[in-house]
Amino acid sequence: MESLELHPRFFHVYQDSPRGREALMQSAFFCRMLGAAPVVYVPEAPRFLMYFENRVVQVDLGEEDWGRAGRSAAAARAAEILADVGLDARFLEVRHRTTPALPDIPVDYDYMACPVPLDTRLWLYSDLGMRKLPAVAPFPIFIPAVVSRPWKSILCCHGGTKSAAAVFSLAQNLAREMDLPLDLLGLGAREILDASLQKTPKGIRHFLWLEKGKGNPWMEVPADALIVLAAWGGSWIREALLPSFKKDLRRRLPSPMLFVGPQAAGEITSSHG
Amino acid sequence: MRSLGRWVTAGWIGFRTRMDPELFLILLAIGVGVAGGLAAVALHHLIEGFSSLAAGYRKAPWAFLLPALGAGVSVFFMEKIVREGGGHGVPEVIYAVSRHGGLIRLRSTFSRIFASSMTIGSGGSAGPEAPVVMAGSAIGSNIGRFLRLNEKERVVLVGCGAASAIGSIFNAPLAGMVFTMEVLLGQWRSTHLVPITLAAVAGTEVSRRMHGNQIPFESQAFSVHLHDTLAAAGLAIITAIVAIAIMRGLRAMHAFSGQAALRMGLSLWTKAALGGLFVGGIGIFFPVVLGEGYQAVRTMIAGQYGTGILLVLLALLAKMLATSFTLGWGGVGGIFAPSLVMGALAGLLYHRILVFLFPGVAWVGEGCFALLGMAGLLAGVLQAPLTAIFLIFEITGGYEVMLPLMVVSALSTILCRFGEPASIYLRDLVARGELLRPGTDRRVLLDLRIPEIMERDCIPIRRNLLLRDFVHLQKHSKRNYFPVEDEATGRFVGMVHLDDVRPYLLDDMLYDTVFMEQLMQRDVPVVHPDDELQEVLDIMDERGVFSMPVVANHRFMGMISRATLLDHYRRELRVQTGEM
pLDDT tens digits for range A205-257:
777 777 666 666 677 778 889 999 887 765 556 665 566 666 667 667 778 88
Number of neighbouring beta carbons within 10 Å of residue B432: 15
Tell me the backbone φ, ψ of residue B307, rounded to 5 degrees. -80, 165
Axis-axis angle for helices A162-178, A190-197 (nearest 10): 70
| Whether residue B450 has pLDDT greater than 80 | yes
Beta strands in B342-408 (DSSP E): none
| Whether residue B210 has pLDDT greater than 90 | no
Question: Is residue A69 very low, low, confident or very high in pLDDT (cuts 50, 70, 90)?
Answer: low
C-alpha to C-alpha distance for A241 and A126, rounded to whole angstroms: 9
C-alpha to C-alpha distance for B546 and B525, rounded to whole angstroms: 11
Task: Please list, in sequence order, all residues whose beta carbon lies within 8 angstroms of the beta carbon of residue B171, skipping any fewer than 6 positions away.
Answer: B204, B207, B208, B211, B213, B214, B215, B216, B394, B395
Taking CB atoms and an 8 Å cutoff, what residues of chain B touch A101?
A: 85
Output the pLDDT for position B160: 96
- Residue B158 and residue B96 in contact, taking contact as beta carbons nearer than 8 Å: yes
Number of neighbouring beta carbons within 10 Å of residue B193: 15
Taking CB atoms and an 8 Å cutoff, what residues of chain A touch B478?
A: none
Question: Is residue A122 very low, low, confident or very high in pLDDT (cuts 50, 70, 90)?
Answer: very low
Are the Cβ atoms of B145 and A54 closer than 8 angstroms? yes
Task: Please write the tens of the pLDDT for every residue from A18-61.
Answer: 888 999 999 999 999 988 889 999 988 888 999 998 889 888 87
Residue B107: burial class (beta carbons within 10 Å; 0-12, 13-18, 19+) = middle
Q: Flag whether residue A108 sits within 8 Å of chain B, measured between CB atoms.
A: yes
Taking CB atoms and an 8 Å cutoff, what residues of chain B touch A4?
A: 456-460, 556, 558
Task: Please list, in sequence order, all residues whose beta carbon lies within 8 angstroms of the beta carbon of residue B315, skipping any fewer than 6 positions away.
Answer: B286, B288, B289, B345
Number of neighbouring beta carbons within 10 Å of residue A71: 16
Task: Please write the tens of the pLDDT for every residue from B517-533.
Answer: 888 888 888 988 888 88
Taking CB atoms and an 8 Å cutoff, what residues of chain A touch B87?
A: 99
Are the Cβ atoms of B105 and A56 closer than 8 angstroms? yes
Q: Flag whether residue A5 sits within 8 Å of chain B, measured between CB atoms.
A: yes
- Residue B494 and residue B524 in contact, taking contact as beta carbons nearer than 8 Å: yes
| Whether residue A3 has pLDDT greater than 50 | no
Q: Select the residue from A34, A44, A54 to test the B interface by mutation, using most B Cβ atoms within 10 A.
A: A54
Q: Flag whether residue A216 sits within 8 Å of chain B, measured between CB atoms.
A: no
The type of residue at A190 is R
Q: How far is B143 from chain A (nearest CA, A)?
A: 11
Q: Among partner residues A54, A92, A100, which is closest to B148 by beta-carbon distance?
A: A54
**Kind plus residue range of the DSSP H or E element containing B397:** none
Percent of chain B clearing pLDDT 90 (strictly above): 37
Q: How far is A53 from chain B (nearest CA, A)?
A: 9
Q: Flag whether residue A60 sits within 8 Å of chain B, measured between CB atoms.
A: yes
- Residue B228 and residue B364 in contact, taking contact as beta carbons nearer than 8 Å: yes
**Kind plus residue range of the DSSP H or E element containing B98:** helix B90-99
Determine the average pLDDT of the residues in A110-130. Answer: 60
Are the Cβ atoms of A4 and B91 closer than 8 angstroms? no
Task: Please write the tens of the pLDDT for every residue from B535-558.
Answer: 889 888 888 888 899 988 788 888
C-alpha to C-alpha distance for B148 and A91, rounded to whole angstroms: 34
Q: How far is A35 from chain B (nearest CA, A)?
A: 9
Output the pLDDT for position B578: 67
Task: Please list, in sequence order, all residues whose beta carbon lies within 8 angstroms of the beta carbon of residue B516, skipping any fewer than 6 positions away.
Answer: B461, B462, B463, B464, B465, B466, B467, B470, B482, B484, B496
CA dihedral over A174, A176, A182, A186, signed as positive or negative:
positive
> Among candidates B358, B288, B371, which has minimal Cα distance to B322?
B288
C-alpha to C-alpha distance for B11 and B27, rounded to whole angstroms: 17
Q: Select the residue from A57, A63, A82, A99 to test the B interface by mutation, using most B Cβ atoms within 10 A.
A: A99
Q: Select the residue from B88, B103, B141 to test the A interface by mutation, using most A Cβ atoms within 10 A.
A: B103
Q: Among partner residues B428, B459, B553, which is closest to A90 by beta-carbon distance?
A: B553
B469-474 contacts at long range (C-beta below 8 A, 24 or more positions apart) = B470/B496, B470/B501, B470/B516, B471/B505, B471/B511, B473/A1, B473/A2, B474/B498, B474/B501
Tell me the backbone φ, ψ of residue A137, rounded to 5 degrees. -75, 140
C-alpha to C-alpha distance for B321 and B342, rounded to whole angstroms: 11
Output the pLDDT for position B309: 87
pLDDT greater at residue B228 or residue B17: B228
Q: Is B123 left (phi over 0), alpha (psi -120 to 50) or beta?
A: left
Per DSSP, the three-state class of A241 is helix
Output the pLDDT for position B288: 85
Task: Please write the tens of the pLDDT for every residue from B325-373.
Answer: 999 998 888 888 899 999 999 999 999 999 999 888 888 888 889 999 9
Q: How far is B557 from chain A (nearest CA, A)?
A: 6
Determine the average pLDDT of the residues in A165-177. Answer: 86
Number of neighbouring beta carbons within 10 Å of residue B361: 12
- Residue A89 and residue A82 in contact, taking contact as beta carbons nearer than 8 Å: yes
Are the Cβ atoms of A7 and B458 closer than 8 angstroms? no
ipTM attached to this prediction: 0.84
Are the Cβ atoms of A35 and B99 closer than 8 angstroms? no
C-alpha to C-alpha distance for B313 and B335, rounded to whole angstroms: 20
Task: Please list, in sequence order, all residues whose beta carbon lies within 8 angstroms of the beta carbon of residue B381, skipping any fewer than 6 positions away.
Answer: B243, B246, B247, B335, B339, B416, B423, B424
Determine the average pLDDT of the residues in B122-138. Answer: 91
Q: Which residues pair with residue B559 across a beta bridge?
A: B455, B549
β-strands B555-561, B547-552 pairing: antiparallel
Largest Cα–Cα distance in chain B?
A: 108
Taking CB atoms and an 8 Å cutoff, what residues of chain B touch A88?
A: 553-554
Question: Is residue B386 very low, low, confident or very high in pLDDT (cuts 50, 70, 90)?
Answer: very high
Are the Cβ atoms of A47 and B529 closer than 8 angstroms? no
Q: Using alpha carbons only, what angle is made at residue A167 by residues A161 and A168, rounded to the nearest 5 degrees?
A: 85
Number of neighbouring beta carbons within 10 Å of residue A7: 23
Are the Cβ atoms of A101 and B85 closer than 8 angstroms? yes
Q: How far is A175 from chain B (nearest CA, A)?
A: 20
Per DSSP, the three-state class of A229 is strand
C-alpha to C-alpha distance for B275 and B324, rounded to whole angstroms: 9
Determine the average pLDDT of the residues in B172-179. Answer: 93
- Residue B336 and residue B130 in contact, taking contact as beta carbons nearer than 8 Å: yes
β-strands B481-485, A37-41 pairing: unpaired
Taking CB atoms and an 8 Å cutoff, what residues of chain A touch B557?
A: 6-7, 37
Q: Flag whether residue A58 sits within 8 Å of chain B, measured between CB atoms.
A: yes
Determine the average pLDDT of the residues in B104-123. Answer: 90
Are the Cβ atoms of A108 and B451 closer than 8 angstroms? yes
C-alpha to C-alpha distance for B318 and B324, rounded to whole angstroms: 10
- Residue B127 and residue B425 in contact, taking contact as beta carbons nearer than 8 Å: no
From chain A residues 165-204, the ones with a CB under 8 A of any chain B CB are: none
Output the pLDDT for position B382: 92
Are the Cβ atoms of B530 and A39 closer than 8 angstroms? yes
> Among candidates B446, B423, B448, which has minimal Cα distance to B186?
B423
In three-state form (DSSP H/G/I as H, E/B as E, the rest C), the secondary structure along B288-345 is: HHCCCCHHHHHHHHCCCCCCCHHHHHHHHHHHHHHHHHHHHCCCCCECHHHHHHHHHH
Q: What is the mean pLDDT of chain A?
A: 78
Percent of chain A clearing pLDDT 90 (strictly above): 17
DSSP of B137-191, one letter per residue?
Answer: HHHHHHHHHHTT--HHHHHHHHHHHHHHHHHHHHT-HHHHHHHIIIIII----HH
- Residue A199's alpha-carbon distances to A21, A166, B251, B284, in angstroms, are 42, 16, 68, 82
Q: How many CB pairs under 8 A join A and B?
A: 92
Q: What is the mean pLDDT of chain B?
A: 88
Are the Cβ atoms of A102 and B85 closer than 8 angstroms? yes
- Residue B288 and residue B208 in contact, taking contact as beta carbons nearer than 8 Å: no
- CB burial of B330-350 (b: ≥16 within 10 Å; e: otherwise) equals bbbbbbbbbbbbbbbbbbbbb
Determine the average pLDDT of the residues in B142-158. Answer: 91
Question: Is residue A2 very low, low, confident or very high in pLDDT (cuts 50, 70, 90)?
Answer: very low
Output the pLDDT for position B36: 94
Per DSSP, the three-state class of B528 is coil
Are the Cβ atoms of A54 and B529 closer than 8 angstroms? no
**Kind plus residue range of the DSSP H or E element containing B561:** strand B555-561
- Residue B342 and residue B317 in contact, taking contact as beta carbons nearer than 8 Å: no
Strand A102-105: give its sheet, edge to edge.
A56-60, A47-51, A102-105, A97-99
Q: Among partner residues B83, B446, B553, which is closest to A88 by beta-carbon distance?
A: B553
Tell me the backbone φ, ψ of residue A125, rounded to 5 degrees. -100, 35
C-alpha to C-alpha distance for B342 and B344, rounded to whole angstroms: 5
DSSP of B60-80, one letter per residue?
Answer: STTGGGHHHHHHHHHHHIIII
> Among candidates A117, A108, A155, A113, which has minimal Cα distance to A134?
A113
User: Distance from CA of residue B320 to its chain's centroid?
Assistant: 23
- Residue B173 and residue B393 in contact, taking contact as beta carbons nearer than 8 Å: no
